[in-house]
Structure 1
Amino acid sequence: MRIGILLGAFLMLASAAAAENTADDIASAEKMGLNAMGSDKLASLLDTSAIREIRPKARKTQKIDYSRKWLSKQPKASLTEQASCLAEALYFEARGESVVGQFAVAEVIMNRVDSPSFPNSICGVIHQGTGRKYACQFTYTCDGHPEHIGEPAAYAQVSKVASLMARGADRPLTDGATYYHTHNVSPSWARKFARTTTIGVHHFYRRHTRLSQN
């Protein structure tokens, strides 16, 4: 009987010591990172859900083939409010462009969303200055003409572009451009900014580093 009591007490002390060591190891892992302890040892201390919380999730982006054939195979777009604003802008600004040209215009809008110089939402960027005739950022929003979508097939295509971009697709086409204009105009601001590329009928620009910091 006494032996059983002593054995039980010993096991309780051993369990408490193991728990204390485990807590110390976990705290050490949180301070030093997985590399310091090793993921195998940490996995033996923590359950699967805890491992998922410690390891940062890698951002997954869909690989885009900038072709009409590839885009046609994508599912019909289900648009959020913000993506709907982007689809509308692409329809009126770039529906006649190639697929790569449409993605390029979308990049400019998304780059503006990320820039402190512009509103921080897609709809905010697109409608910046709307209400003042020809003083807006995107002419179709302030030219006095109603926005009528009369080409459903073109809208369905740009909606797919908008959906992909609004969900965080990569932006490799325009090198961070936040401005663009067509070949047939020559705005004064274009002389102040760095041209990053030309795609279709559009030239793309971003501010010089020094100007961006002002």
Structure 2
Amino acid sequence: MNVRLKWLGSAALVLALAGTATAETSVSRSNNPTQQLGSLIGAEQRALNNIPEDMLIAMRPKEAPLRVKYDGAWVSGQPKATGGEQFACLAQALYFEARGETIKGQFAVAEVILNRVDSQRYPNSVCGVVQQGAERRNGCQFSYICDGRPDTIKEKRAYARVAKIARAMIDGAPRALTGGATHFHTTNIFPRWARVFPKTAKIGSHLFYRQPS
């Protein structure tokens, strides 16, 4: 299908989201089909200008999954990682929860966080997932949020590494390590929920579980 026609197929949704009046595009006093098409395209472009960037990104055709290698050489070869608020939340969570793990273990923890973002049982953003329960004493889902210590990043090289992993995961790296896990814990503890949740993987010092549906 022609790329322009694909975008025209999205135009109705865009116009509805932007609140554009349908009378402007659905009624034409001309029998010239070129003029009618031009009117529609012009209205589409005006509507696109009013749509937030993140929504436009979601409308773009999906690209092939990012190919990754779970080793230090691959991570070191990636460019310096930067990003917005959601990237920062994921990088920080990986730093405090998994900086001592292997590369594969750090990717696995990132999978858990993003699996929660995709689940209707949890907040629909990375920051929301990571910070969930912070308002309640002992209610945090991630221990570093409520441990009472300042979240100071002292190991710059370790942070640079997990930041690249966070960037890769946000950019579409496959989640192929944990079998859809939504929970994990270290091997030196055994929380009550681990008795009933299906275990999906063991990577490094972490055990991973999927919340029953």
TM superposition score normalised by structure 1: 0.72
Q: Secondary structure at the match of 1:92?
A: helix
Q: For residues 193 and 176 of structure 1, what CA distance do their matches in structure 2 show?
A: 12
What is the CA–CA distance in structure 1 between the aligned matches of 2:103 and 2:64, rounded to whole Å? 22
Alpha-carbon distance in structure 2 between the residues aligned to 1:80 and 1:164: 14
- In the TM superposition, residue 52 of structure 1 has moved relative to its aligned partner by 7.5
- Kindly tell me: are residues 96 and 48 of structure 1, through their superposed partners in 2, closer, same or farther at Cα, counting changes over 3 Å? closer
Contact 1:79/1:159, CA 8 A, preserved across alignment: no
Amino acid at match of 1:111: N
Aligned mate of 1:173, from 152, 172, 177? 177
Contact 2:118 2:124 (C-alpha < 8 Å) held by counterparts: yes
Instruction: Tell me the CA shift for residue 51 of structure 1.
Output: 6.6
Q: Which has the larger radius of gyration?
A: 1
2:178–2:200 contact (8 Å) kept in structure 1: yes
**Equivalent position to 1:195, from 183, 199, 202:** 199
Q: Percent identity?
A: 52
Please give the residue correspondences for 1:71-150 in structure 2 after superposition, counting only pairs within 5 Å: 71-150=75-154
Structure 2 partner of 1:207: 211
TM-score relative to the length of structure 2: 0.72
Q: Which residue number in structure 2 is paired with residue 50 of structure 1? A: 5
Mapping 1:53-64, distance limit 5 Å: 57-64=61-68
Residue equivalent to 1:39 = none
SS of the residue corresponding to residue 200 of structure 2 reads strand
> Deviation string for 1:102-148 (max 9, x for gaps)?
00000000000000110000000000011333220001001111111
User: Could you say what secondary structure the match of 2:95 adopts?
Assistant: helix
Give the paired residue count: 163
RMSD: 1.8
Moved beyond 6 Å, runs of 4+: 51-54
